Amino acid sequence: MRQAGRYLPEYRKLRGDRDILETCKDPSQVVEITMQPLRRMDLDAAIVFSDIMVPLAGVGVDVHIEPGRGPVVDTPVRAERDIERLRPLEPEQDVPETLEAIRLLREELSVPLIGFAGAPFTLASYLIEGGPSRTHERTKGLMHGDHMAWDALMRALVAIVVPHLRAQVEAGAQALQVFDSWVGALDRDDYRRRVQPHMSSLFSGLVDLGVPVIHFGVGTGELLGQMAITGGQVLGIDWRVPIDEAWDRVGHDRAVQGNLDPAVLGAPWEMVERKTLEILRRAGGRDGHIFNLGHGVLPDTPPDVLARLVDFVHAETERRPA
């Protein structure tokens, strides 16, 4: 689950009015926030508290996280010279606090720790639009309008994301998740031509690490086959596509993570149970199903329902034949 603990009252209390990116620079707070969900529920893994914009801030992008809106980039990427300013990440210098927090977490944790990063398309959308976008209009404008600049931007982002992910593993992360959250806005042809080559180079840069990589996006039903070819031992899916059909699209040599609609957690428990059982039924008890939400926990989600869900999935999957 994305956004380790952002929906928890103890997180809100701890962070107060501080910008998320500022909070990410305080290793002891990162450790505490990462641990918070684990104290409430019997989770099988932890994900380090961070934000996909952290490495961009690390190389000097003027980004902040606006409450209720999301990442805002004050000087969006619009021209060649904006792209040139995106220098490769030097993790120990640019994101030392995340790495320090990962080292500290490994001493405290009894479950595996997941590191993560945003994927180039999704990061590019924030950089180009200047904030969250429904249409990704300017992003597509650059992608279609200037292939040279687009490819330069994608390469610059790969040179930020790959060192960031590698450094997280070197610091102790035992798995990685790559969030290409908004890539589902593209058609398959654009994905293949303008995103896939860069994602392939990203995944190639991780192969020798020997850790599992989860490749995630929202609304990617039509792209799953391509995304699986591109990389990731695990494909993360949202709730729109039934998990058995998603599995057919990605291939049965991959694991699949998902796919409960986060909005269902606001419903009465009977509905949570019904939806969960349906996912487990469709997953058919196969090895390589990682039960999870199809996207991040919504801010108003009651933590008790999440904790109950974790226990319910454990009880149901222990009961089944492997």
Known catalytic residues are 2, 6, 15, 51, 126
Helices (H), the chain: 9-15, 20-23, 27-40, 54-58, 80-84, 91-94, 96-108, 120-129, 137-145, 147-171, 188-190, 196-204, 224-230, 243-250, 269-283, 303-319
Q: Which helix (H) or strand (E) holds 72?
A: strand 70-73
Question: How far is residue 180's CA from residue 194's CA, in Å, rounded to a whole number?
Answer: 14
Site for its own copies in 92-131 (CB under 8 A): none
Between residues 112 and 221, which has the closer beta carbon with respect to its own copies?
221
Between residues 80 and 245, which has the closer beta carbon with respect to its own copies?
245
Question: How far is residue 224's CA from residue 215's CA, in Å, rounded to a whole number?
Answer: 10
Sole binder of its own copies in the list 79, 111, 271, 277 (CB under 8 A): 271
Between residues 3 and 98, which has the closer beta carbon with respect to its own copies?
3
- Min. distance of Cβ 278 from its own copies in angstroms? 7
Question: How far is residue 213's CA from residue 147's CA, in Å, rounded to a whole number?
Answer: 28
Site for its own copies in 280-319 (CB under 8 A): 298, 300
Identity of residue 239: W
Sole binder of its own copies in the list 221, 233, 244, 288 (CB under 8 A): 221
Asked if 193 interacts with its own copies (CB under 8 A), we say: no
The phi-psi region of residue 218 (left if phi > 0; otherwise alpha if psi is between -120 and 50; otherwise beta) is: beta
Between residues 187 and 318, which has the closer beta carbon with respect to its own copies?
187
- Min. distance of Cβ 145 from its own copies in angstroms? 5
Asked if 251 interacts with its own copies (CB under 8 A), we say: no
Pick from 157, 216, 253: nearest CA to 2: 216
Site for its own copies in 62-91 (CB under 8 A): none
- Min. distance of Cβ 307 from its own copies in angstroms? 19
Q: Are strands 255-260 and 289-293 parallel, antiparallel or unpaired?
A: parallel
Part of the chain binding its own copies (CB under 8 A), chosen from 98-106, 137-145, 161-169, 174-182: 137-145
Sole binder of its own copies in the list 64, 78, 155, 240 (CB under 8 A): 240
Asked if 184 interacts with its own copies (CB under 8 A), we say: yes
Tokens of residue 175, six digits: 């798995």
Residue 71 bridge partners (DSSP): 65
Question: How far is residue 120's CA from residue 159's CA, in Å, rounded to a whole number?
Answer: 10
Binding residues for its own copies, rule: CB under 8 A, are 132, 134-137, 140-141, 144-145, 184, 186-189, 219, 221-222, 239-242, 245, 261-264, 266-268, 271, 278, 298, 300
